[in-house]
Structure 1
């Protein structure tokens, strides 16, 4: 089965725009299934449901992890069956397994924290007490975080941007999303456009080896891990205590759009969600925030008026 797994991963990597982290997760999940099927001496399709049940009952895995593994295994089975590597298993195809999933609300950052984060970065980029090399990196990092904050794109999408994807005249970016899907986004923030323009003037000092928009100190494409490290670095420099990841910026972007009156279909398109169901979770966050604001600040709540004789 190891060769099947290897071929499947190569297929997913070549024909779908998936991050290396996703590919590694697929590999880990499939290797566990292979060990189980080998131990039980059963075919792949016959082993998937029993293995998921084992993970649920004996290992007590989180429901979200079980669902992710099940999706991976169904994709793997479909790949094998479609390529006539294994015979179709109608019983498995008709099987349905579901566990109640506790809905998790997307975590967002306070607007005041984002404001402070950017202010810290801009101050550092102009602080002569900081080395020229650090200020150069800060110029790049400002452009990167400005883009994440003002567009809500995924860090994998930011990493994959090439110079040719950015139209400076039209202020637009071609984003390469999941599963090969592309979408155009518009840079509405003057500060974001200026930050990218400033960075592009010094990009050549990194001696880039390709056409990646954001490059690391070696001139190679800035990876998602590099972006995570950059975000974490400036959170510490800004002394922001709230635990956060770059993905929190995406959640904040979506929630604030809805708070300010954007249509959910428009938000879905901007985020690159294939299903509006994925986007709908932000409406609940938006409503929670509105409730909090009204409960806390609505002056009517403080009026004490006798309403009956």
Structure 2
């Protein structure tokens, strides 16, 4: 950055005057909220600081390369991707106004994008920890239900909404599969491993003790009605705590664990994506030639709880 010389002060004052005119436009003409005006003022001041420190005293001299260097410098300084995106957006909007006023011919921020926020890797649970938790013996009717839910989540990698939406008639335990309705109302078949099938059979013998007359839902509450999403999540966490799982448990973590453990065992990304029912249409189109029998063979060979002795 340049030192505090008369020249740098002049440069910064020239940049500030232009910002002040734009902020007045936002406040008086556009009637923008105080929050918006303050945010734009802060981001544009940061840009002006950088440009003045690099000898740029006129917004018309700013280039796309200057904008990229600004964002790179802020990124190196520890600014988060969301902050950088907001800064780029503020400068872009500022130049849109300047061009409409005939004050600038181009928008140097038009095609400049901030670095993307790095994708968070989904959290998974160790196979042995999961096995120890799932091998626990249910203590009562509600725990029989919870155990069946947990086994189904892990055996099939289903979403919370898909599990809650299941009806008894969606299960075909003899065939080792279940029908679920995923995002976009898309129906798919998912495999049910032997341990999950045993847990579900146990639950089906206990279910009449809770289910209300005519209730179709596979998983029901103590009131006899379809179990809610929040109840599933709460009961899942309760089971994990009471049976010694060393990490927090929620339905989506089981789904991630299913996918991760399947990929580690099979390395068949296409089959796993089909089993998960991904909503991406391009992915769906790529894998439409895979039939359920192929997916079942991949599942039987790869899933850690697809086989083995299961207690009734």
Q: Tell me how far 1:276 sits from its aligned partner.
A: 8.6
Q: Tell me how far 1:169 sits from its aligned partner.
A: 3.1
Runs of 5+ in structure 2 lacking a partner?
A: 1-29, 45-78, 86-110, 285-312
Q: Deviation string for 1:50-94 (max 9, x for gaps)?
A: 89x87x969x9985xx9xxxxxxxxxxxxxxxxxxxxxxxxxxxx
- The aligned counterpart of 1:246 is 251
Q: Tell me how far 1:235 sits from its aligned partner.
A: 1.5
Instruction: Give the alignment of 1:152-191 within 5 angstroms.
Output: 152-187=157-192, 189-191=193-195
State the alpha-carbon separation in 1 of the partners of residues 276 and 150 from structure 2.
Answer: 16
- The aligned counterpart of 1:232 is 237
Contact kept, 8 Å, 1:268 with 1:276, in 2: the verdict is no
- The aligned counterpart of 1:263 is 268
Q: Tell me how far 1:154 sits from its aligned partner.
A: 0.8
The partner residue of 1:217 within 210, 217, 222 is 222
For the residue of structure 2 that corresponds to 1:157, the secondary structure is: helix
Runs of 5+ in structure 1 lacking a partner?
A: 1-39, 67-94, 126-134, 280-309
State the alpha-carbon separation in 2 of the partners of residues 162 and 41 from structure 1.
Answer: 53
State the alpha-carbon separation in 1 of the partners of residues 216 and 260 from structure 2.
Answer: 33
Structure showing greater radius of gyration is 2
RMSD value over aligned CA atoms?
3.7
Alignment pair present for 1:100 and 2:116: yes
Contact kept, 8 Å, 1:140 with 1:199, in 2: the verdict is yes
- The aligned counterpart of 1:117 is 133
State the alpha-carbon separation in 1 of the partners of residues 80 and 174 from structure 2.
Answer: 50
The partner residue of 1:197 within 196, 201, 210 is 201
Q: Tell me how far 1:274 sits from its aligned partner.
A: 2.4
Greater percentage in helix: 1
State the alpha-carbon separation in 2 of the partners of residues 103 and 151 from structure 1.
Answer: 24
Q: Tell me how far 1:170 sits from its aligned partner.
A: 2.2
Q: 1:41 to 1:157 in 2, by over 3 A?
A: farther
Q: Deviation string for 1:23-70 (max 9, x for gaps)?
A: xxxxxxxxxxxxxxxxx669xxxx9xx89x87x969x9985xx9xxxx
Q: Tell me how far 1:256 sits from its aligned partner.
A: 1.0
Contact kept, 8 Å, 2:158 with 2:255, in 1: the verdict is yes
| TM-score normalised over the length of structure 2 | 0.54
Instruction: Give the alignment of 1:34-49 within 5 angstroms.
Output: none
State the alpha-carbon separation in 2 of the partners of residues 234 and 278 from structure 1.
Answer: 35
Q: 1:269 to 1:57 in 2, by over 3 A?
A: farther
For the residue of structure 2 that corresponds to 1:214, the secondary structure is: coil
- The aligned counterpart of 2:210 is 206
State the alpha-carbon separation in 2 of the partners of residues 98 and 180 from structure 1.
Answer: 35
For the residue of structure 2 that corresponds to 1:213, the secondary structure is: coil
- How many residues were matched structurally? 193
State the alpha-carbon separation in 1 of the partners of residues 221 and 237 from structure 2.
Answer: 16
State the alpha-carbon separation in 2 of the partners of residues 205 and 62 from structure 1.
Answer: 53
Q: Deviation string for 1:223-278 (max 9, x for gaps)?
A: 11111111110111123232332211111110111111241111110001123999
State the alpha-carbon separation in 2 of the partners of residues 98 and 146 from structure 1.
Answer: 42
